[in-house]
Amino acid sequence: MTDHAGGTPLETIEIARRIADIASEKQGADIVVTDVRGLSPITDYQVVLSADNTRLARAILDEVSDKLKKESVRPLHTEGLGPDQDWLIVDYGPVMMHVFTPEKRALYDFDRLWPQAKTVLALQ
């Protein structure tokens, strides 16, 4: 798919796992990677996580973006960078990252949108 620093392609699932790992290192919580291939018309994997507050949500987004950029993985689009920043979305094509504050995540109950999706990774 894309090249990282070593020059070999990063597979889609590897991108999802890298996002989860980077977010975890940056204090992301309740991180879940789900396989939505065949369920979602726009992506293959969803990475959903919580950040205690909007400042941390933005810091996680920035850290993920910076580290993946160094591995030649660039987002196609980013949403939610307005004043509230309580739900940030980064579209990496086959992988979508959703960073929520706990309140927004509970409100939208996003984790239950695809009940038939397979959980690939879950980090607390």
Q: Over pLDDT 90: what percentage of the chain?
A: 81
Q: Where are the beta strands (DSSP E) in 17-86?
A: 29-35, 45-50, 77-79
CA dihedral 110, 59, 124, 89 (to 10 degrees): 20
Q: Quote the pTM value.
A: 0.89
Sign of the dihedral defined by the CA atoms of residues 51, 53, 54, 55, in that order: negative
pLDDT digits (tens, 9 = 90+) for 2-44: 433 443 446 899 999 999 999 999 999 999 999 999 999 999 9
Q: Which amino acid is at 1?
A: M
Token look-up 């090249």 returns: 3
